[in-house]
Amino acid sequence: MWLIPARPYGDTVWSSAEVKADEAKCTRLGSCGYSFNAIYMGNSLIDRIYYIPFTDIERVFKRVALTTGGFSGKGMFGSMAYLTVQLKNGKEKMSYFKYEDEVDTFLEYVERGHPEIPLRSAEAERKLREAEEEEKKLYLKELTPEAEKSVKRLRQAQEFLNLKPQIYQNLSSVAKHKRVIDNMNPTYFYVAILILVAAVISCIFGLVSLLNGSGHALLFLLFGVSFIMFVFSSRVLPTGRNNKKAMEREWRAAVTEMKNYLNNEENFPLPAQYAHPMVLERMIRTIRMGRAVRVPEAYKVLKEDFKAINKDVKVSQRDYDEIVATKPMFLLNDYEDEFKG
């Protein structure tokens, strides 16, 4: 049961009973929520305070770093991700997500439940079409029999992974989280501790002042509670899961799960720690462009391309999505074929 009933953001208004019944079926992700009937979004203070029925929605997409076109093409390793909902009446609502993969998961819910809803901005769709047309010009008009055989093998590997998408999705998600934890500046931890201590002192002082009837007591209490919530929501402080040892265990478990699954597929073309359909798709494009013929060659080119990409390199929206989902897996293992966990 939610403490504050959601309010309408679009043109459709539900009765209190309808809102209550739908909220009970809502899946929460970050500051937002998904049900088959509506998307729930928050404001700067309260999560999921608005509901937007899908009958009012024009498109739903991820916006990175608040760029006007929905994607800047740069800064892929220091991005801020937002879920953006565009309504048929022209209104737009955005919600910030701390972890970008949560936005991707949210969009997967929308894609499964409402395949008729576009999952890219109009500008991103235009850029994607242009990029695809430019890319097609680079494809060979005809592949050699050996190249055709390589592409077929990679397609079969994609189909095998897509039989159980939750395995490669978990592998990608854990890799991204582990990279964040491993590269977190220790200074953030100490700053968070100082803020937390100050917030706790403020709460204690506020409570004592409130009992004594002193002025400004409520202000100190609210200040303390707000900053305690801020520190814990930032996920900088180590918890049972949010620490290097725990993430190392999760990473090992994710790779082991993939290895066990790949035991059912002979001659899979990738090491388990890199097994992802997007990696295979990039290898297919490499062959179609004539940069490789055999699968091992395409794999080598893929790693070279990944190594050359950094935060200053401009990429397309599709490349950005692929890199964010897959490059952390390569970075964690230093591009080695043998698992180093």
* pLDDT 10s digits, 221-237: 887 887 777 666 666 66
CATH classification of the domain holding 58:
2.30.29
Q: What pLDDT is attached to residue 86? A: 96
Q: Maximum Cα–Cα distance for the chain, whole Å?
A: 86
Q: What is the pTM of this model?
A: 0.69
Q: What pLDDT is attached to residue 188? A: 65
Count the Cβ atoms, other than its own, within 10 Å of residue 329: 28
Are 209 and 302 members of one domain? no
User: Residue 175 pLDDT more than 90?
Assistant: yes
Encoded tokens for 30:
């970050």
- Sequence-separated (6 or more) residues with CB below 8 Å from residue 117: 54, 57, 59, 60, 110, 111
Q: What pLDDT is attached to residue 314? A: 74
Q: What pLDDT is attached to residue 321? A: 83
User: Residue 68 pLDDT more than 60?
Assistant: no
For residue 7, the surrounding DSSP H or E stretch is strand 7-8
Are 298 and 178 members of one domain? yes
Give the model confidence (pLDDT) of 241-295 as tens digits: 667 888 899 999 999 999 999 998 888 999 999 999 999 999 999 999 999 999 9
User: Residue 66 pLDDT more than 60?
Assistant: no
Are 53 and 97 members of one domain? yes
User: Residue 21 pLDDT more than 70?
Assistant: yes
Query: pLDDT class for 1, splitting at 50, 70, 90?
Result: very low
Are 163 and 190 members of one domain? no
Q: What pLDDT is attached to residue 289? A: 95
Are 168 and 292 members of one domain? yes
Identify whether 340 is part of a domain: no
Identify whether 254 is part of a domain: yes
Are 13 and 153 members of one domain? no
User: Residue 75 pLDDT more than 50?
Assistant: no
- Sequence-separated (6 or more) residues with CB below 8 Å from residue 331: 179
d(CA 37, CA 39): 7
Q: What pLDDT is attached to residue 228? A: 76
Encoded tokens for 248:
């190392």
Q: What pLDDT is attached to residue 76? A: 40
Q: What pLDDT is attached to residue 111? A: 93
Are 81 and 69 members of one domain? yes
Q: In this predicted model, which residue has the larger pLDDT, 191 or 140?
A: 140
d(CA 295, CA 310): 25
Contact predicate 141/94, CB 8 Å: no
Q: What pLDDT is attached to residue 219? A: 81
Beta bridge partners of 39: 34, 52
For residue 216, the surrounding DSSP H or E stretch is none
Q: What pLDDT is attached to residue 317? A: 74
Q: What pLDDT is attached to residue 13? A: 96
Count the Cβ atoms, other than its own, within 10 Å of residue 318: 17
- Cα dist from 69 to 62, 127, 202, 241, 318, whole Å: 11, 10, 42, 36, 14
Quickly list DSSP for 91-115.
-EEEEEESSHHHHHHHHHHHHHH-T
Query: pLDDT class for 72, splitting at 50, 70, 90?
Result: very low
Q: At what angle do helices 277-288 and 295-308 cross, to 10 degrees?
A: 110
Contact predicate 293/146, CB 8 Å: yes
Coil vs helix vs strand at 287: helix
Q: Is 267 left (phi over 0), alpha (psi -120 to 50) or beta?
A: left
- Looking up tokens 């991204």, which residue turns up? 176
Looking from the CA of 78 toward its CB, the CA atoms found within 13 Å total 8
Are 89 and 15 members of one domain? yes
Q: What pLDDT is attached to residue 78? A: 46
Identify whether 120 is part of a domain: no
Encoded tokens for 51:
């509901």
Are 173 and 281 members of one domain? yes
Encoded tokens for 104:
């991707």
Are 279 and 172 members of one domain? yes
User: Residue 35 pLDDT more than 90?
Assistant: yes
- Sequence-separated (6 or more) residues with CB below 8 Å from residue 198: 227
User: Residue 82 pLDDT more than 60?
Assistant: yes
High-pLDDT (> 70) share of the chain, %: 89
Are 168 and 302 members of one domain? yes
Are 225 and 246 members of one domain? no
Q: 107: domain range? A: 7-115
Q: What pLDDT is attached to residue 238? A: 60
Give the model confidence (pLDDT) of 84-105 as tens digits: 999 999 999 999 887 777 898 8
Identify whether 273 is part of a domain: yes
d(CA 302, CA 264): 25
Query: pLDDT class for 298, splitting at 50, 70, 90?
Result: very high
Q: What pLDDT is attached to residue 234? A: 60
Instruction: Share the mean pLDDT of the chain.
Output: 86
Query: pLDDT class for 65, splitting at 50, 70, 90?
Result: low
